[in-house]
Amino acid sequence: SQQGEEDPQALSIQEGENATMNCSYKTSINNLQWYRQNSGRGLVHLILIRSNEREKHSGRLRVTLDTSKKSSSLLITASRAADTASYFCATMDTGRRALTFGSGTRLQVQP
Amino acid sequence: DAGVIQSPRHEVTEMGQEVTLRCKPISGHDYLFWYRQTMMRGLELLIYFNNNVPIDDSGMPEDRFSAKMPNASFSTLKIQPSEPRDSAVYFCASSTSGGATDTQYFGPGTRLTVL
């Protein structure tokens, strides 16, 4: 079953703008991960944030985690057309190795 | 590194037939996961192994599904008999318990269509 919802379900922006996606979850987690999936392709790991971390950066990506609200956000700065994809958050529950995925956000970056 | 390898990439079969999906994890990884992706249910875990031993198969839909990992470099997911509602993309992923990372590396998936 899916962990929670991602918001928005779809997002369309212009190249150069920032994109923010939100994820909510329900359980106690060890870490939260973000993955990208291009249409018809596999999932590519983007970034992992542990439950004792609040913010993490990787290139143009910034992830925040608020365990008190059971929520996370992914910010993509200075978006490019190549960022067009679906983005999924996935949680790893405490004591478990498998991931529980959110419903995903479809991002469209217009050139 | 070749990454996670899955075969076949596409499979079209008729209802009632047996289907076998294959996965080769990244060398040295001791965890292997099978996930399924559908429009209706999204991405969901089917089963995962640690050191070739099944740890959690609570996501396996029913007895028609079975998974094996005879050695550290090979796993199969079998559906017998297949039904149209099994049509989905099946992903295999692997990870390592070593180091500080819990990152899972996904294969390209097998797109299964059951007619």
- Report pLDDT digits (tens) over A74-103: 999 999 999 999 999 999 988 888 899 999
* pLDDT, average across residues B89-102: 83
Residue whose pair of structure tokens reads 């089917």 in the numeric block: B46
Task: List residues bridging with A87 in a β-sheet.
Answer: A36, A105
Q: Which of A31, A43, A48 sits opposite B91 (nearest CB)?
A: A43
Token couple for A57 = 């950066």
- For B42-83, the pLDDT digits (tens) are 999 999 999 999 999 999 988 899 999 999 999 999 999 999
Q: Are the C-beta atoms of B92 and B105 separated by less than 8 Å?
A: no
Q: Is B70 on the interface with A (CB under 8 A)?
A: no
Q: Is A96 on the interface with B (CB under 8 A)?
A: yes
**From the CA of B81, how many Å to the nearest CA of chain A?**
24
Q: Is A67 on the interface with B (CB under 8 A)?
A: no
Planar angle of CA B22, A85, A101, nearest 5 degrees? 60
Helix (H, G, I), strand (E, B) or coil at B17: coil
Whether B99 shows a pLDDT value over 80: the answer reads: no
Q: Is A33 on the interface with B (CB under 8 A)?
A: yes
CA–chain centroid gap for B115, Å, is 20
> Residue B107: which of B15, B17, B38, B24 has the closest Cα?
B24
With cut-offs at 50, 70 and 90, classify the pLDDT of residue A4.
low
Q: Are the C-beta atoms of B93 and B103 separated by less than 8 Å?
A: no
- Distance, in Å, from the CA atom of A78 to the CA atom of A35, rounded to the nearest integer, reads 18
Q: Are the C-beta atoms of A8 and A104 separated by less than 8 Å?
A: no
Quick check: A101 and B41 CB within 8 A?
no
**From the CA of A80, how many Å to the nearest CA of chain B?**
23
At B98 the pLDDT is: 64
Tell me which of A5, A31, A43 to substitute to probe the interface with B (most B C-beta atoms closer than 10 Å). A43
At A1 the pLDDT is: 39
